[in-house]
Structure 1
Amino acid sequence: MSSDTSLSNLETHLGYWLRTVSNAVSYSFSRKLETEGVTVAEWVFMRILYDFDSLPPTLLAERMGMTKGAITKLADRLIEKNLVERKANPADKRAQTLALKPEGRSLIPRLAALADDNDNAFFGVLEDSERNELERLLRKIIERRGLTDVPTD
């Protein structure tokens, strides 16, 4: 067994602790979403659409930090599930937009409640001031590092 004391232990890395929490939060949330028949990526896709009548796939791809091809695959899955529809873009008949169908729109409050419950299950152990500080620090890292991708797994 090697005992190189110049090597840092896993536990000395903040990324180790962040990944431990992130994996648990993500796994728990994905299991909850499975009961509703959607994935985390599909939830994010639909939650973004919820705030708009419709969006062009390119804008949705930009907001989610994904390729247009990945958005097309997500859209196809959600169309197959009868939650999203493609429409002709009123401003340019050659282009399309994506919109939630009534079934998808009515599902969003239930999914949002699952997201809230999941957050509370993990972060409810923190005092409000601790939770606010954690969010502030994470947002600071995101801003300083220029991180723009929306988490979808």
Structure 2
Amino acid sequence: MDKIVVQESPAGTFTQLVIGQSFTVGNVQHGWQVVELWSDADLAAIGIFKVSPATVPAGEEVVSTNIERVDGVVKQVVITQPAVLKASARQLRLAMNATNLRDDIEEYVASQSRDVQDSWQWTTEFESTHPFVVGAAEQLNKSPEELRALFLLAQTF
């Protein structure tokens, strides 16, 4: 079964049921077979819901999940954040070459402190969420989506 099965009790509170185990609704114990045999409407009448797992957007990682009633429908809700993408210095520079960003980045780095220049020169792996990387992207008017795309491209090299 590719669905999450939950029980609502009390109203607005959802508990995930263990696949294959019986469960109790009120004073009545039900075998797991009812989940497989009853219609969704019959299950909903006793507070049991089959929920499709939420889709996690590409390049995102799950921070938390919850089951909620959204516009009258019981759904899994996920809170995500951008996954930290990593690329080696070589990969990142090749991606910058491919997107014609290399000269702009080099010019930006040259205008920064010696510490920043050293970091650019000697760091072997960059993370997409590092303050230097985010700051450089902002200075070059690149959106978070463009930065993400650059790192995804870098990972192909």
Shared fold, TM over 0.5: no
| Structure richer in helix, relative to its length | 1
Larger Rg computed on CA atoms: 2
TM-score (norm 2): 0.20
| Structure richer in strand, relative to its length | 2
Higher relative CO (Cα under 8 Å, sequence separation at least 6) belongs to 1
TM-score (norm 1): 0.21
